[in-house]
């Protein structure tokens, strides 16, 4: 494995033990500093309003009261459901369409292919912020404001995903596809049954990115939603925090509730997520 390369090198060249211990310790301290905000967030979410001024990390008398209070009226559950529904739907759409387009651009010969590719790629240059005003106008005319579809429609396909999938499909040998054609499979089946299983790592990378991006998306959902029942989790947390009259223990609880799901998923799927991010970064 190439992963061993630099390590072996480090081990062989200037292997000064104290140096390595210091490096390791510094890295660990840095890592702990990285999660300090999260630790304090969880710690404060377990404190009562009277204990908030006690800045010790371990709460004197931890309590789940804040969680009961915050989750009590079901708002967070609704926002959690909305975010999940939206992120899952958009992810499925991206996996389907980005792969389909990426495959078509990688494996089909036709006039205009390069033009289509460039056109899609050029949309990477258009910032979302430029499109929100026209999207808002479009949504208001078509009655999409304040609806799930209104939140989702801008992200149903992305140039990034298409580009990523095209890169991977280019690595799929044509022989497999030709063999399938000889067997009489139609092009859609070839793509879905033969080509797609060969790029599963790329699909999972795309899925992870799309899901995370939509799960944490704030700007467009903030604009397009007008009723609380349709807020996504980030918009809900932001509005909840602004309404909490600076009661930090409740604000931290809201933030913790918004953070726990992704942390759990990460802990379960750490290897796949890290690999997916690496793949997307290298080829994207």
State both tokens at 44.
């404060």
Q: CA-CA distances (angstroms) from residue 205 to 60, 161, 253, 269, 274?
A: 42, 9, 30, 12, 9
Shortest distance in whole angstroms from residue 206 CB to another protein: 15
State both tokens at 220.
């467009």
Looking at the Cβ atoms of 64 and 123, the one nearer to another protein is: 123
Say how many C-beta atoms besides its own lie within 10 A of residue 103's C-beta: 25
Shortest distance in whole angstroms from residue 85 CB to another protein: 17
Looking at the Cβ atoms of 62 and 107, the one nearer to another protein is: 107
Looking at the Cβ atoms of 67 and 136, the one nearer to another protein is: 136
Looking at the Cβ atoms of 2 and 175, the one nearer to another protein is: 2
**Are the C-beta atoms of residues 86 and 151 closer than 8 Å to each other?**
yes
Looking at the Cβ atoms of 192 and 198, the one nearer to another protein is: 192
Shortest distance in whole angstroms from residue 253 CB to another protein: 11
Q: How far apart are CA 152 and CA 230, in angstroms?
A: 12
Any residues with CB less than 8 A from the CB of 109 and at least 6 apart, and which? none
**Are the C-beta atoms of residues 180 and 190 closer than 8 Å to each other?**
yes
Q: How far apart are CA 8 and CA 2, in angstroms?
A: 10
Looking at the Cβ atoms of 19 and 200, the one nearer to another protein is: 19
State both tokens at 278.
């690496």
Shortest distance in whole angstroms from residue 176 CB to another protein: 16
Shortest distance in whole angstroms from residue 17 CB to another protein: 12
Shortest distance in whole angstroms from residue 46 CB to another protein: 14
């Amino acid at each position: 494995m190439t992963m061993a390369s630099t390590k072996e090198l480090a081990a062989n060249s200037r292997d000064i033990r104290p140096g390595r211990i210091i490096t390791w310790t510094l890295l660990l301290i840095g890592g702990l500093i990285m999660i300090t905000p999260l630790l304090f967030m969880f710690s404060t979410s377990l404190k009562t309003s009277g204990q908030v001024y006690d800045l010790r990390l371990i709460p004197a008398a931890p309590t789940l009261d804040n969680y009961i209070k915050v989750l009590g009226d079901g708002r967070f559950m609704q926002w959690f459901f909305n975010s999940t529904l939206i992120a899952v739907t958009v992810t499925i759409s991206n996996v389907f369409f980005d792969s389909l387009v990426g495959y078509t651009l990688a494996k089909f010969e036709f006039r205009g292919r390069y033009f289509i590719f460039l056109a899609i790629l050029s949309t990477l240059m258009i910032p979302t912020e430029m499109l929100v005003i026209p999207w808002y106008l479009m949504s208001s005319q078509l009655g999409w404001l304040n609806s799930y579809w209104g939140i989702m429609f801008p992200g149903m396909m992305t140039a990034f995903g298409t580009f990523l999938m095209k890169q991977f499909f280019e690595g799929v040998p044509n022989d497999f596809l030709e063999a399938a054609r000889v067997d009489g499979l139609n092009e859609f089946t070839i793509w879905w049954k033969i080509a797609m299983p060969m790029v599963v790592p790329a699909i999972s990378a795309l899925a992870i990115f799309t899901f995370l991006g939509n799960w944490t998306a704030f700007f467009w959902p903030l604009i397009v939603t007008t009723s609380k029942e349709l807020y996504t989790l980030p918009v809900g947390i932001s509005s909840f925090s602004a309404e909490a009259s600076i009661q930090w223990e409740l604000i931290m609880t809201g933030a913790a509730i918004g953070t726990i799901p992704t942390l759990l998923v990460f802990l379960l799927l750490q290897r796949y997520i890290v690999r997916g991010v690496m793949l997307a970064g290298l080829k994207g």
